[in-house]
């Protein structure tokens, strides 16, 4: 059973069209939830870590939020350079491994 | 401060050959994690190492795969007798301490088995 589910799988936006990406999880004992950006042929690039429900973090046009069951990555007025695959990953207590979702491929058209 | 360096970036091996993937962590980082990304799949944990120690190899296939992180030099992920199903992108991450809060990923090695 998947512990991390990201939706949608792919998302196409027009430049300036705000939207949100979802990451739902079913694990208990969450130690942290990570968001990464991955460009084609590159490694994951760290964006945010969220630790507790209600926490929010922002960076430029991106804002990540966390509840007890899901996290959202809000993208405000996106630009074409925001096009990438966005990955969500869970850090469970008692383990030194991240459990990744399959990602959301975001395309922002000019 | 150079980032996490992985080499080679691309590796082509024939079935039955050995593949050696190298990961040089960031300066001051003594914790290394290896992940595999199959096409259309998410990244999957393989192994977690500290200098000279394998801490968690629960994600490693039982056969043909091994990893090391010697006192000197890079971490090595070794795949013996490669098969087509081993074709994937292999990423390593390094951290100055246990956990991912300060971890950085490398650019990956893309292994193609022909």
pLDDT (tens digit per residue) in B1-16: 569 999 999 999 999 9
Looking at residue A30, what is its pLDDT? Answer: 81
In the predicted model, is pLDDT for residue A2 greater than 70? no
Q: How buried is A69 (Cβ within 10 angstroms: 0-12 exposed, 13-18 middle, 19+ buried)?
A: exposed
Res. B60: pLDDT tops 90? yes
Residue B98 pLDDT greater than 80, yes or no = yes
pLDDT at residue A1, as a whole number: 53
Instruction: Tell me the count of A-B CB pairs closer than 8 A.
Output: 60
B16 CA: distance to closest CA in chain A (Å)? 26
Instruction: Output b/e per residue, B53-89; b: 16+ Cβ within 10 A.
Output: eeeebebbeeeebebbbeeeebbbbebeebeeebbbb
What CA–CA distance (Å, rounded) separates A15 from B69?
45
Count how many residues are written for chain A: 110
Residues of B in contact with A98 (CB under 8 A): 33, 35, 43, 45, 100
- How close A49 gets to chain B, by Cα (Å)? 7
Q: What is the mean pLDDT of residues A6-31?
A: 93
pLDDT at residue A74, as a whole number:
98
Q: Which residue of B has its CA nearest to A87?
A: B42
Q: Which residues pair with A40 in a beta bridge?
A: none
Higher pLDDT: B92 or A95? It is B92
CB-based burial label for A26 (10 Å; 0-12, 13-18, 19+): exposed
Confidence of residue B82 (pLDDT cuts 50, 70, 90): very high
Convert the pLDDT of each residue in A35-81 to its tens digit.
Answer: 999 999 999 999 999 999 999 999 999 999 999 899 999 999 999 99
Q: Is the pLDDT of residue A29 over 90?
A: no
Which positions in chain A touch B57 (Cβ < 8 Å)? none
Does A78 reach chain B within 8 Å, measured CB to CB?
no
Instruction: Yes or no: say if A39 and A62 are a contact pair by the CB < 8 Å rule.
Output: no
**pLDDT of amino acid B1:** 52
The answer to whether A39 faces chain B, any CB pair under 8 Å, is no
């Amino acid at each position: 059973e998947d512990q991390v589910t990201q939706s949608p799988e792919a998302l196409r936006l027009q430049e300036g069209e705000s939207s949100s990406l979802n990451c739902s999880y079913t694990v208990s004992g969450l130690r942290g939830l990570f968001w990464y950006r991955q460009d084609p042929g590159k490694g994951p690039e760290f964006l945010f870590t969220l630790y507790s429900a209600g926490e929010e973090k922002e960076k430029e046009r991106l804002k990540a939020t966390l509840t007890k069951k899901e996290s959202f990555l809000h993208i405000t007025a996106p630009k074409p350079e925001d096009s990438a695959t966005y990955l969500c990953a869970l850090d469970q207590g008692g383990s030194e491994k991240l459990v990744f979702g399959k990602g959301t491929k975001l395309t922002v058209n000019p | 401060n150079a980032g996490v360096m992985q080499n080679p970036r691309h590796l082509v091996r024939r079935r039955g050959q050995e593949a050696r993937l190298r990961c040089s962590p960031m300066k001051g980082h003594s914790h290394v994690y290896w992940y595999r990304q199959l096409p259309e799949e998410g990244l999957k944990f393989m192994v977690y190492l500290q200098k000279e120690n394998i801490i968690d190899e629960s994600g490693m296939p039982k056969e043909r795969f091994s990893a090391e992180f010697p006192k000197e030099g890079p971490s090595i992920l070794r795949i013996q007798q490669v098969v087509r199903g081993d074709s994937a992108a292999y990423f390593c991450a390094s951290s100055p301490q246990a956990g991912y809060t300060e971890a950085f990923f490398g650019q990956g090695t893309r292994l193609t088995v022909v």
